[in-house]
Amino acid sequence: MQSATNQTKAADEPWSVFHPMAPQDRIVVDQMRAVTEPNKGKLRGIAARAPFDAIMARVLAPDGVTFRRDAVGGIAGWWCEPTDAVPGAVILHAHGGWFNWGSSDAFRHLVGHISRSARARSFVPDYRLAPENPFPAALNDMNACYQGLVASGVKSIALTGDSAGGNLALVLLALIAAQSSAHRVAVAAVALSPVTDLAMEGPSWESRANADPYFVRDQAEELIRSYLDGRDPSDPAVSPLYGTLAGLPPIRVHVGDAEVLLDDSLRYAERAVAAGVDAKVDVWEGMPHGFLSGVGQLEASNQALGAIGTFLSMQFAGVRAGP
């Protein structure tokens, strides 16, 4: 729980911060767009799994982090372990891929960078994917993994996730918050360009349609349908934007302003702050979806990663220090 002083400080700070693009990032982003835009909207169905994993596997491996296969709560995945990790703290990361794609193997380098920045071990589970395993399979697997960490004696867990994984992290956070004893173990969440509204009512689906180099609406609609399998897209169990947000631990969101999911981040953070949550969204000018994977090449990625590490380190340290 936050102290009264920390709650007041959070209330006085802006909940949305805009970061101008660094001049050197414009060159890198322009080069990236020249490669990706010809394929915009073409990743569809399960056939996209291999090329999507190949894209994510290009993330530079972090120094000072080792990786090992394991299973937690019966869910297989990868541990990312910095050599200087503090004891007792674990990051549970849900990978992205529109609920249909992605794997722990492809995302382990990205999560390894988060681990190294926060000086905490991370586990990336291979939750089940749609359409073979629609809702609630992925959420159940993430919850099983979380419960496995708790059962193993981990005292401080931060939930993180990118894109669809951000959705799973935020939905799971709300489930945990309803269980007071478990809530004390989940100390924070970080969501990277999360999908918070499967009803797709955010204005940025139109306002950023041209700017986004990756996704188009009918592509996302198809992927979302395969995950929902008839579920109401406004159900809080699948769209954290519509859930009860009061009582959640501190949350940080990072999103680019050149992506159709911009308003999924902005509207979620605004609702969380209105509910009294210590929440903040960092908006990065000109950055596309998943820009954190450009760590080592993009200054925005490096800065966002540093901010995430500082935030998570502070939350873990606060738990160790006690009330």
Per DSSP, 15 falls in state S
> How far lies 253's CA from each of 96, 160, 250, in Å?
15, 10, 10
Provide the terminal-to-terminal Cα distance of the chain, rounded to the nearest Å. Answer: 8
Q: Give the separation between CA 222 and CA 130, rounded to whole angstroms.
A: 11
Residue 226 annotated among the catalytic residues of the structure: no
Q: Give the separation between CA 124 and CA 142, rounded to whole angstroms.
A: 10
**Which pair of tokens denotes residue 40?**
């915009």
From 259, 265, 293, 301, active-site residue: 259
From 103, 104, 163, 226, active-site residue: 163
> How far lies 210's CA from each of 28, 188, 198, 217, in Å?
19, 34, 20, 11
267 within 8 A of 240, measured Cβ to Cβ: no
Residue 289 annotated among the catalytic residues of the structure: yes
Single-letter amino acid, residue 90: V
252 within 8 A of 279, measured Cβ to Cβ: yes
Q: Rounded to the nearest 5°, which phi and psi values hold at 29? A: -65, -40
- Helix, strand, coil distribution of the chain in percent, nearest 5: 45, 20, 40
Residue 259 annotated among the catalytic residues of the structure: yes
90 within 8 A of 153, measured Cβ to Cβ: no
Q: Give the separation between CA 120 and CA 320, rounded to whole angstroms.
A: 13
Q: Give the separation between CA 38 and CA 99, rounded to whole angstroms.
A: 23
Closest CA to 107 of 176, 48, 40, 56: 56
From 122, 289, 293, 301, active-site residue: 289
Q: Which residues are the active-site residues?
A: 163, 259, 289
